[in-house]
Amino acid sequence: MDAIAHSALSHAASRGTIAADLLAWYDTHARALPWRVRPGGNAADPYRVWLSEVMLQQTTVAAVIPYFAAFTARWPTVADLAAAPEEDVMAAWAGLGYYSRARKLVECARAVAAMGGFPGTEAELRALPGLGPYTAAAVAAIAFGQRAVVVDANVERVVARLFAIDDPLPGGRAAIRAATDAITPDARCGDFAQGVMDLGASICRARDAQCLICPLSAHCAARVAGDPLTYPVKPAKVAKPERQGRAYALIRDAGAGAQVWLVRRAGKGLLGGMRALPDDGWTARADGSATPPMPGDWRAGGRLRHVFTHFALALELQVYLAPPSATPPSGEGEWWPLAQIEQAGLPTVFARAAALIPRAPD
């Protein structure tokens, strides 16, 4: 934090000034979200707060809302979710990505149900399966009204600009957290955290800082410096490695009665525990020398490119339309109606691959 940041802190006079200005803005401009209560209202349901925070990790609010509605309709309490088969939760999660979150969701729900409910302190929440520092702090502040330092990507951006913190990420996160701690109030800390999130989502955006209407502009060192978009300072991008692979669609019958062979991926690892098309482990050589999972007259059915967060996958789909008398594949799996493939809960990459399968023979 440089001299400009110290000047901003001095200008703010106290953390209460920043918090008061932010909360006054939030009281009028809070986003209406299905997991929230109104500003200044009673504490939110910890189950709904926890579920929404897990879903929102690396995912947009717009994408999460329909999933949240579906989950809470099907499993309205943490006990209901704890009693659900893991494969049902994984299928309901399909399309949200980061599938390890869904496995941890079930594990955590079962731990909470065994305890009789969510614990009320940040330290106890942190001990639950899958709850990192951010999620534990968010639930503690929003659901239990505890003072906790809540820093997500929106908060990180707002605070980095507010105090002109120029230490590049990820190293700069310690200074950002300390600055967030300095302005977090003792009262209404949940509303304060959500208010900063909303400010980052609507006004202090990554590529568009609307300083003229920002309730914290009078305190903002980045605005004084004249270039708020330079904060937070991010490291240079590193090119993602690429992998190649193949998925195989084995079809039996034809027309409206066509079925596709699906397998269940290993419980751990990428897309673990999800239904999927058989594949080669995404290790195919560029010369096409991959070995299919079973003999057959395999022929190319299309090619797609799907980008994960940690590597890019170029996946070539091979389609085989087998006659009803063909020998069924060996190993565990299931025939799934092709007309109902959307209900199989396939992860996005395999849902895109399945979309390339002809719905009738050539």
More confident residue, 243 or 83: 83
Q: Are 304 and 353 in contact (CB under 8 A)?
A: yes
**Confidence (pLDDT) at 331:** 75
* Token couple for 230: 């330079």
pLDDT, average across residues 218-242: 87
More confident residue, 186 or 5: 186
Say yes or no to pLDDT of 62 above 70. yes
Q: Are 318 and 290 in contact (CB under 8 A)?
A: no
- 199-to-21, 150, 166, 217 alpha-carbon distances in Å: 12, 14, 20, 11
Share of the chain above pLDDT 70, in %: 83
**Confidence (pLDDT) at 193:** 97
3-230: CATH superfamily: Hypothetical protein; domain 2 (1.10.340.30)
- What confidence tens digit (pLDDT) does each residue in 86-111 have? 889 988 998 887 778 888 999 999 99
**Confidence (pLDDT) at 291:** 66
Full DSSP string of 127-157: TSTT--HHHHHHHHHHHH--------HHHHH
Domain ranges of the chain: 3-230, 242-354
**Confidence (pLDDT) at 3:** 45
**Confidence (pLDDT) at 319:** 62
Say yes or no to pLDDT of 127 above 90. yes
CA 253 – CA 307 distance, rounded (Å)? 33
More confident residue, 190 or 240: 190
Q: Mean of the per-residue pLDDT values for the chain?
A: 85
**Confidence (pLDDT) at 8:** 44
**Confidence (pLDDT) at 360:** 57
Q: Are 103 and 90 in contact (CB under 8 A)?
A: yes
Domains 3-230 and 242-354 share a fold: no
DSSP code of 121? Answer: S
Residues 6+ apart with CB under 8 A from 112: 78, 82, 118, 128
Q: Are 126 and 120 in contact (CB under 8 A)?
A: no
pLDDT, average across residues 16-43: 92
Most confident of 1-5, 50-54, 333-337: 50-54
The CATH number of domain 242-354, selected from 3.40.50.1980, 3.30.365.10, 3.90.79.10, 3.50.50.60: 3.90.79.10
**Confidence (pLDDT) at 216:** 96
pLDDT, average across residues 197-225: 95
CA 234 – CA 244 distance, rounded (Å)? 29
CA 218 – CA 11 distance, rounded (Å)? 8
Catalytic residues: 53
Q: Are 92 and 74 in contact (CB under 8 A)?
A: yes
Say yes or no to pLDDT of 221 above 70. yes
Q: What is the pTM of this model?
A: 0.74
Q: The tokens 């034809």 sit on which residue?
A: 254
Say yes or no to pLDDT of 305 above 90. no
